[in-house]
Amino acid sequence: MNAVANSKVYIAKRLEVGLDPSNMPNHIAVIMDGNGRWAKKQGFMTRVRGHEVGVEALRRITTACAELGLGYLTVYAFSTENWNRPKAEVDGLMNILMNALEKELPVLQKNNVRLNAIGNIDSLPAKANKKLISVINATSSNDGLTLTLALSYGSQDEMVQAIRKVAKQVAAGDLSPESITEEHIEQHLFTAGMPHPDLLVRTSGEQRISNYLLWQLAYAEFYFTPVLWPDFDAEGLYEAIATFQKRERRFGQTSEQLTVK
Ligand code: FPP
């Protein structure tokens, strides 16, 4: 399908689900929270079952974003702090990651999704890291949605790494402290080259950002839902986008300034 035909399909889908096709978020960031509580509520002995079912929710949401023709979906899959969870849960999550990468590759290809990762992916177990890179490479020429997995990711750590790189340029005499701009920091973040998220969705009722994309969420709209991640579905996503569409994004300006063209 060519780009024009594609965009007609996306507009039809946006209208079909009751969204304003001209006011879509280009980038949605998600904190997929509540897997452990979901497993407990369902009577499962292990929290890992919640993460397994969480993969199905991730597939649903990725497919829904691709069908709407969105540009970017970035999900918090494993934080730097998550390494401190019990070993059984960390091992379980790494296995889930490996299996999901194996199983979901055909789905990503079918939906023209490009896989990407941010975070300290070198600290993942070697097999998981290798599998991740192979799926990133296999989907690199897809030009639909970019699905970014934040893995071994922490935003403060990301900023420290970026600042260290800028400091090295200063120490080498290539940059003066006075000439440091936001762009210098930006280009050393894991997300360099990506647009900032327009909308942050967090499931499970918690209302915090937990060291996620602190720099990049500067002007994002926040949407919190009590639904636990394994239960989150396309309808929930449409509701989040509909709420986003009702917000007035002022980027520090006044309402009046926004209406003056
Ligand atoms: C938070 O729920 C969720 C995580 C720490 C992991 C998210 C992972 C998935 C959704 C699986 C898909 C991910 C991969 C690796 C492809 P929680 O465990 O903190 O839940 P709780 O707050 O109810 O305890």
Task: Give the global pTM.
Answer: 0.95
Tokens at residue 100, please?
């999901």
Per-residue pLDDT of 89-101, as tens digits, reads 999 999 999 999 9
- Given strand 221-224, what is the order of strands in its sheet? 114-118, 146-153, 72-79, 27-31, 199-202, 221-224
Report the length, in residues, of the chain.
Answer: 261
Residue 95 lies in a domain: yes
**What pLDDT sits at residue 65?**
98
The mean pLDDT value of the chain amounts to 95
State which ligand 1 atom lies nearest to the alpha carbon of 89: 18
63 found inside a domain: yes
Asked whether 108 and 147 are in contact (CB, 8 A), the reply is yes
The reported pLDDT for the residue numbered 40 is: 96
Report percent pLDDT > 90 for the chain: 92
Phi-psi region of 173 (alpha: psi -120 to 50; beta: other; left: phi over 0): left
Tell me if residue 135 falls in helix, strand or coil. Answer: helix
Query: Does a structural domain hold residue 165?
Result: no
Q: Stretch 208-218: mean pLDDT, rounded?
A: 97
pLDDT higher than 80, residue 261: no
Question: 18-40, pLDDT tens digit by residue?
Answer: 999 999 999 999 999 999 999 99
Closest CA to 196 of 181, 218, 176, 216: 216
For the four alpha carbons of 38, 29, 98 and 91, in that order, the dihedral sign comes to: negative
Q: Which residues pair with 74 in a beta bridge?
A: 29, 148
Pairwise CA distance, residues 56 & 61, whole Å: 9
Place of tokens 């401190």: 84
Confidence of residue 41 (pLDDT cuts 50, 70, 90): very high
Residue 14 identity? R
Does the pLDDT of residue 255 top 80, yes or no? no
Whether 137 is catalytic is no
Marked catalytic residue, from 6, 82, 112, 142: 82
Taking 90 as the threshold, does the pLDDT of residue 148 lie above it?
Answer: yes
The domain in which residue 141 lies consists of 23-154+198-245
pLDDT of residue 70: 98
- In this model, does residue 150 exceed pLDDT 90? yes
Q: How many CB atoms are located within 10 Å of the residue 258 CB?
A: 12
What's the structural domain count of the chain?
1
Q: Quick check: 79 and 153 in contact, CB under 8 A?
A: yes
Query: In this model, does residue 60 exceed pLDDT 80?
Result: yes
Q: Which atom of ligand 1 is nearest to the CA of 50?
A: 18
Instruction: Give a yes or no: residue 171 inside a domain.
Output: no
Q: Is residue 78, in this structure, part of any structural domain at all?
A: yes
Determine the average pLDDT of the residues in 204-214.
97
Please report the pLDDT score of residue 257 as a whole number.
72
In a domain, 32, yes or no: yes
pLDDT band for position 1 (cuts 50, 70, 90)? low
Q: Is residue 96 part of a domain?
A: yes
Q: Which CATH number covers residue 83?
A: 3.40.1180.10
β-bridge mates for residue 149, sequence order: 75, 117
The pLDDT, as a whole number, for residue 256 is: 77
Task: Check pLDDT > 60 for residue 248.
Answer: yes
Does any domain span residue 112? yes
For ligand 1, atom 7, the nearest C-alpha belongs to 77
User: Ligand 1 centre and the CA of 210: distance in Å?
Assistant: 13
User: What average pLDDT score do residues 106-120 get?
Assistant: 97
- Given the residues 33, 35, 111, 116, select the one marked as catalytic: 33
Does the pLDDT at position 6 exceed 90?
Answer: no
Q: What are 156-194's pLDDT values in tens digits? A: 999 999 999 999 999 999 999 999 999 999 999 999 999
82 is known as an active-site residue:
yes
**Residues with beta carbon inside 6 Å of ligand 1?**
32-37, 47, 51, 54-55, 58, 77-78, 82, 93, 96-97, 100, 149, 204, 229
CA distance 32 to 210: 11
